[in-house]
Amino acid sequence: PFDVLIVGGGPAGAAAAVYAARKGIRVGVAAERFGGQVNDTMAIENYISVLETDGPKFAAALEAQVRHYEVDIMNLQRADKLIPAAQPGGLVGVQLANGATLQARSVILSTGARWRNVNVPGEQEYKNKGVAYCPHCDGPLFKGKRVSVIGGGNSGVEAAIDLAGIVQHVTLIEFADQLKADAVLVSKLKSLPNVTIHVNAQTTEITGADGKVNGLKYKDRVSGVEHLVPLEGVFVQIGLVPNTEFLKGTVELSRFGEIVVDAKGHTNVEGVFAAGDCTTVPYKQIVIAAGEGAKAALSAFDHLIRQPVA
């Protein structure tokens, strides 16, 4: 069995692997797609000590650092089920989609999350070419430009307030008849001079030309009239979904599906730890996921050295 088995190979899983492997114990990583979300990222400009890089380069560097140690990387392997230990200190099982079950003395879950798409024409075509999902990551790329935020919940309204300080103009598009964000955020948003809010507005298309976004079409759900907003960027803020469906019923999840962890990355299942975007830890960012992965690995090691001698 593995001493530490990591499920997920994004920044959290890679950091956990490096930290665990450096303890000289047996470490494995099972990942559906090693690298995780950074594979889909263009510019990364907020990973501390790295002025600028791009996603594929960052993912390759993650993998190279993990491979520098004796880590068993099982790429293209999806976990379908977690089997808690039968007794305290027993082995935890991770069942893979291919039918095999891996056994480990401790498991770190770092399966990440995915942004919910609006599924309108133009979204896929212009991803990273004007269509963005993370204001902390991509906001500064739109300095002085016009953008729209789709979604009027807390994340959408927070994003609009954040972006309004950077870009020239923000148009917030909400499908429902009112913004669902906290009242204090909504009044802050309404006080900003360079923000326009449309409620009852259904996004129908993200338009573009020459490989770049140039507008957003929405339908007024009351009048039925279609409008075109000329702009350079669209931030989709309709939810981040943790990749934790396979854990339902085994590990405690929040109402958003995030794995509930304490300050040391413990889940409610003995010997099972979690880190990164799949957890309740706030702010979904690479530097945070990496830090949490390191922390979970140290917690797993702490757990292992406390096991009675067999």
> Restricting to residues 278-297, which ones interact with ligand FAD according to CB under 6 A?
284-287, 289
Q: Can you tell me which of 4, 5, 6, 13 binds ligand FAD, judged by CB under 6 A?
A: 13
Query: Which range of residues in 6-14, 20-28, 191-199, 225-233 is near ligand FAD by CB under 6 A?
Result: 6-14
Query: Which range of residues in 5-13, 82-90, 166-174, 295-303 is near ligand FAD by CB under 6 A?
Result: 5-13
Q: Which is nearer to ligand FAD, 189 or 289 (CB)?
A: 289
Q: Which is nearer to ligand FAD, 59 or 186 (CB)?
A: 59
Does 181 participate in binding ligand FAD (rule CB under 6 A)?
A: no
Q: Can you tell me which of 66, 104, 108, 113 binds ligand FAD, judged by CB under 6 A?
A: 113
CB atoms within 10 A of CB 71: 21
Does 12 participate in binding ligand FAD (rule CB under 6 A)?
A: yes
> Restricting to residues 130-149, which ones interact with ligand FAD according to CB under 6 A?
133-134, 137
Which residue has the closest beta carbon to ligand FAD? 112
Amino acid, res. 158: E
Does 8 participate in binding ligand FAD (rule CB under 6 A)?
A: yes
Query: Which range of residues in 9-17, 18-26, 175-183, 248-256 is near ligand FAD by CB under 6 A?
Result: 9-17
β-strand partners of 114: 241
> Restricting to residues 58-87, which ones interact with ligand FAD according to CB under 6 A?
78-79
Query: Which range of residues in 32-40, 142-150, 152-160, 170-178 is near ligand FAD by CB under 6 A?
Result: 32-40
Specify the residue for token string 């405690």.
Answer: 252
Q: What share of the chain is helix, strand, coil (3-state, %, to 5)?
A: 25, 30, 40
> Treating both helix axes as pointing N-terminal to C-terminal, what angle do 154-164 and 183-190 enclose, rounded to 10 degrees?
30
To ligand FAD, the closest distance from the beta carbon of 172 in angstroms equals 20
Q: Which is nearer to ligand FAD, 85 or 113 (CB)?
A: 113
Does 31 participate in binding ligand FAD (rule CB under 6 A)?
A: yes
Q: What are phi and psi of 61, to 5 degrees?
A: -70, -35
Which CB contacts under 8 angstroms, 24+ apart, belong to 35-38? 35/9, 35/10, 35/59, 35/60, 35/62, 35/63, 36/8, 36/9, 36/10, 36/11, 36/112, 37/10, 37/112, 37/113, 37/114, 37/277, 38/10, 38/11, 38/62, 38/286
Does 276 participate in binding ligand FAD (rule CB under 6 A)?
A: yes
Does 32 participate in binding ligand FAD (rule CB under 6 A)?
A: yes
Q: Can you tell me which of 246, 259, 266, 273 binds ligand FAD, judged by CB under 6 A?
A: 246
Closest CA to 81 of 94, 99, 90, 100: 94
Does 111 participate in binding ligand FAD (rule CB under 6 A)?
A: yes
Q: Which is nearer to ligand FAD, 38 or 170 (CB)?
A: 38
DSSP 178-233: S--S-HHHHHHHHT-TTEEEESSEEEEEEEEETTEEEEEEEEETTT--EEEEE-SE
Does 122 participate in binding ligand FAD (rule CB under 6 A)?
A: no
Closest CA to 111 of 228, 296, 278: 278
Those residues whose C-beta lies under 8 Å from the C-beta of residue 294, and which sit 6 or more positions away, are: 15, 16, 18, 19
Is the CB of residue 6 less than 8 Å from the CB of residue 20?
yes
Closest CA to 272 of 33, 85, 13, 11: 85
Q: Which is nearer to ligand FAD, 105 or 284 (CB)?
A: 284
Binding site for ligand FAD (CB under 6 A): 7-13, 30-34, 36-38, 40-41, 44, 46, 78-79, 110-113, 115, 133-134, 137, 243, 246, 276-277, 284-287, 289
